Amino acid sequence: MTAADLVCPLSRQQIRAWKRFAFKRPWPGNRLLDDPRHVADTTAITEPGRPVRLMLSFDVGYHGSGWFRNSEWEQNLHISLSHPLPDRPAIWTPGKPELGVGPGPKMQLETVGDAEARAWGRAVFGEDAPKAWFEPAASPFDPRRAPNVVHLRLFYDRDMHPFIPDGEPYDLKPWSDGTSPEKVFR
């Protein structure tokens, strides 16, 4: 299968509507993202017919909350990707975040491959896909993140233009107008 053979199972109109929904509902990360409109359960681009679960959010407040010292990491359009295994119930692990949307049964997940993540990055981010940050799936031993979920983040400046941030999240880079929260200066 060549790149020319790949077909996104979501239409351009569906992706545009999904992005509009995410942008209109900025998510500060202080609660579960449980609105099913953030989710697309569909099939893989690189493995047609294989289930894939995508979650899309516009994450805000990374710098404004004092979490990241670098102001360029304040907001991003965030895709979480995994292969759900509906026939395998989730294994509950103490201290791990609970994944899933709504009150229904949770299931185990498998990690999407790099080619699948890239294909969805192109489908959702379009020409800005090369600017996206790739975060591989966490280890099962990571105490804060769920395993088998890959993340893509496209960062936006204050004028809502996609860009590649300079530096690392914890490098001190306050906002130019001096309104950064005090916590980042400690």
Residue 111 or 182, more confident:
111
pLDDT of residue 93: 53
Q: 25-33: long-range contacts (C-beta < 8 A, 24 or more apart)?
A: 25/58, 26/58, 26/59, 26/60, 26/75, 27/57, 27/58, 27/59, 27/60, 28/59, 28/60, 28/61, 28/65, 29/59, 29/61, 32/98, 33/57, 33/101
Scanning 88-135, the segments in alpha helix (DSSP H) are 114-125
The total number of residues shown for the chain amounts to 186
Domain range for 100: 3-185
Residue 128 has pLDDT above 70, yes or no: yes
> From CA 53, how far away is CA 82, in angstroms rounded?
5
Residue 182 has pLDDT above 70, yes or no: no
pLDDT digits (tens, 9 = 90+) for 73-123: 889 999 999 998 877 655 555 454 554 454 454 667 889 999 999 999 999
pLDDT digits (tens, 9 = 90+) for 38-80: 999 999 999 999 999 999 999 998 777 767 777 888 899 999 9
pLDDT of residue 96: 46
Share of the chain above pLDDT 90, in %: 52
Taking all residues of the chain, what is their mean pLDDT, rounded to a whole number? 83
Residue 166 has pLDDT above 70, yes or no: yes
Left (φ > 0), alpha (ψ -120 to 50) or beta: where does 15 sit?
alpha
pLDDT of residue 138: 85
- Sequence-separated (6 or more) residues with CB below 8 Å from residue 142: none
pLDDT of residue 88: 63
Q: Tell me the whole-structure pTM to 2 decimals.
A: 0.83
Q: What number of other Cβ atoms are within 10 A of residue 21's Cβ?
A: 15
* Phi/psi at 115 (5° precision): -65, -40
The two three-digit tokens of residue 180, written as one number: 């950064």
Domain count, the chain: 1
- Which candidate, 108, 159, 151, places its Cα nearest to that of 132? 151
